[in-house]
Structures are given as C-alpha cells and as structure tokens.
C-alpha cells in the first residue's frame, strides 16, 4: 500500500498575529520512486522564527516567535537548564545582540544574575545599552581580558558562549573556581586556542564546559513560560527581530559556507508586558 503524506503549507502571509487560517494542512500520496538527483526527507519539526516572519512581510516581532520561540528556548535552556544560573552570580553573554543573545541578557537578570554582554560595533553595543538596558557592555573586537577585569573584577561564574575562539579563551582565563560554560554557537569559526589545547586549567579550577542541543530541553518549556511571565511583570521584556532587505537575504543564500552575513541590519523591539494580550 502506498504511503500517505501529510504536510503544512503557508496559505497566506500572516498579519500582526499568527492565526490558524494562515496555514493549510494537505494530504497526498508519497511518490513511489525517486528520479536521479532526488532525495526524500521526512520533516518532524517545523520552526518559524521572528526574522523569517519579518521577511514574509509583516515587519513585526511577537513574543511567541522570539522570547518563547526557538531562540528564547535556546537562551533559557543554556542558562536555566545546563549551567543552572543562580541568584547573585555573574554571567558573560557573547554575541549578545543576536537572536539568542538578546533573550539571554534579559533572562539572566530575571534569574537574579549580573550580566556582562559583548557585541561587535557601536551600533550593537549601543542597542544593548539603550534598548535592552544592559549596564555592562563591551566591544567584541577590543581587549576582552582587560574589559572583563574591569567589568567583572571578581571573575565570571558563567559564560554563555555563542562565539568560541578568543572569547572562549578569555572566559576560561577569567573564570572563578567551579565556573560553568555552556557552548551554544561558534560565530568566530576558528580554532579555539589555549582554552581547549591545555585542559589542566579546567581541572585545577573545577571548571565545567557543556555543549547545548536545544531539542533536548523542550520539556523545560513550562519553566521558560513561567520565567517570561514573571519577568514581564517587573520589567517589560523586548522581543527583537532582525529585518533584512530581499537583496541581502538572497545574498546570504548565495554566500559560500563559512562566509559572514551582511552586516547592515535593522532591529525592531516590541515590549512584552502581558503575554495574554
């Protein structure tokens, strides 16, 4: 008997809020054979993030696509699940102006921690200070160790790593005893240097380092929703979307693997006060 296929199609461009009518469920027969050069893929999970929603034409970000979406789940799983960030601790969030980073720098204070954030360029660092209210912000391309010594003189308890490279090396060097590191990304795309070549410092100072695969943590969604709801009552959270023009988006798809994405971008923030609104 020929296998049946079931899929979801985008029926129309969503408005300000996603609606069930924006999607259509289709069924049909799975093709019996494949032609030369074809492959068959079974998709079990579909994710729609805020950046994609903006490129579809709405230009808006919603908490359910950012703070409560894939990027928010990644930030919470790293801080709340992997390293178990505790009240009174100091955490450094790298690539803090990115999708995951903007969630992490807002979740960490809600967990009672002190945040040091880093990003590249005055536009991104200014965005973190002025829009997201992060007090301790440093430039990615400056003296990382020197900046950490000034902003976290007692050392780091936790490092939320989305960069790798010299950032990871600086974090290990500035770690407190029994510090924790969660590896979320590798934006630097280069060799990590002494941090991983010489592991004796990790042993001597009981520093732990763990990788994060967010799909292992979706059972923590209820905890994420609870944190966001509590935090929004104290200080409005901001859902952040990155909006790119069609030409830039097409350029990303044409770039060879390992090449950076275009730097020009526009960040839009939407304050989140009540998730039921």
Query: For residue 29, which phi and psi values (nearest 5 degrees)?
Result: -85, 140
Is position 82 within any domain?
yes
DSSP 236-262: -EEEEEEE--HHHHHHHHHSPTTPPPP
pTM, rounded to two decimals: 0.71
Q: Is the pLDDT of residue 16 over 80?
A: no
- Angstrom CA distances, 234 to 66, 109, 111, 227, stand at 19, 11, 12, 11
Give the domain extent around 152. Answer: 70-217
- CATH at residue 132: 3.40.50.720
Is position 1 within any domain?
no
Q: How do residues 17-48 score in pLDDT, each as one tens digit? A: 667 777 788 888 877 777 888 887 776 655 55
Is position 117 within any domain?
yes
Strands 4-10 and 23-29: antiparallel
Q: How do residues 172-222 score in pLDDT, each as one tens digit? A: 999 999 999 999 988 766 555 555 677 888 999 999 999 999 989 989 999
- Give CA–CA dist 10/58, Å, rounded: 14
Is position 143 within any domain?
yes
Q: How do residues 63-112 score in pLDDT, each as one tens digit? A: 766 888 889 999 999 999 999 999 999 999 999 998 899 999 999 999 99
Is position 182 within any domain?
yes
Find out whether 50 and 241 touch, Cβ atoms under 8 Å. Answer: yes
- pLDDT value at position 13? 76
Is position 125 within any domain?
yes
Domain count, the chain: 1
- pLDDT value at position 69? 85
Q: Provide the 10 A C-beta neighbour count for residue 100.
A: 25
Is position 121 within any domain?
yes
Q: Is the pLDDT of residue 56 over 90?
A: no
Q: Which residue has the higher pLDDT, 51 or 271?
A: 271
Write down the number of H helices and E strands in the chain. Answer: 10, 10
Of 269, 242, 262, which Cα lies nearest the Cα of 98?
A: 242
Is position 161 within any domain?
yes
- Residue 243 buriedness (CB in 10 A; 0-12 / 13-18 / 19+): middle
Name the region of 155 (left: φ>0; alpha: ψ -120 to 50; beta: rest): left
Name the region of 133 (left: φ>0; alpha: ψ -120 to 50; beta: rest): left
The confidence band for 12, taking pLDDT boundaries of 50, 70 and 90, is: confident
Q: How do residues 227-264 score in pLDDT, each as one tens digit? A: 999 988 888 888 886 554 444 444 444 444 434 333 33
- pLDDT value at position 53? 46
- Give CA–CA dist 222/146, Å, rounded: 39
Q: How do residues 102-156 score in pLDDT, each as one tens digit? A: 999 999 999 999 999 999 989 999 999 999 999 999 998 889 999 999 999 999 9
């Amino acid at each position: 008997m020929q296998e049946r296929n079931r899929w979801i199609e985008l029926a129309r461009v969503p408005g300000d809020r996603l609606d069930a009518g924006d999607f259509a469920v289709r069924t049909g027969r799975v093709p019996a054979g494949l032609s030369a050069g074809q492959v068959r893929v079974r998709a079990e999970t579909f994710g729609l993030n805020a950046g994609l929603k903006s490129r579809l034409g709405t230009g808006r970000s919603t908490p359910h696509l950012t703070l409560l979406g894939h990027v928010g789940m990644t930030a919470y799983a790293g801080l709340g699940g992997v390293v178990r960030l505790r009240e009174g601790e100091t955490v450094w969030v790298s690539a803090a102006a990115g999708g995951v980073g903007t969630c992490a720098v807002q979740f960490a204070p809600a967990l009672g921690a002190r945040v040091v954030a880093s990003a590249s360029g005055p536009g991104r660092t200014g965005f973190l200070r002025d829009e997201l209210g992060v007090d301790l912000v440093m430039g990615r391309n400056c003296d990382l160790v020197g900046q950490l010594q000034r902003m976290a003189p007692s050392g780091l308890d936790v490092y939320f790593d989305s960069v790798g490279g010299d950032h990871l090396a600086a974090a290990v060097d500035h770690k407190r005893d029994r510090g924790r590191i969660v590896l979320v990304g590798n934006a630097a795309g280069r060799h990590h240097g002494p941090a991983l070549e010489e592991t004796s410092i990790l042993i001597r100072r009981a520093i732990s380092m763990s990788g994060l695969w967010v799909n292992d943590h979706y059972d923590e969604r209820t905890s994420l929703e609870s944190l966001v709801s509590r935090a929004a009552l104290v200080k409005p959270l901001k859902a952040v979307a990155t909006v790119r023009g069609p030409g830039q988006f097409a350029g990303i798809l044409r770039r060879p693997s390992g090449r950076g994405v275009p730097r020009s971008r526009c960040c839009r923030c939407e304050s989140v006060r009540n998730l039921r609104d």
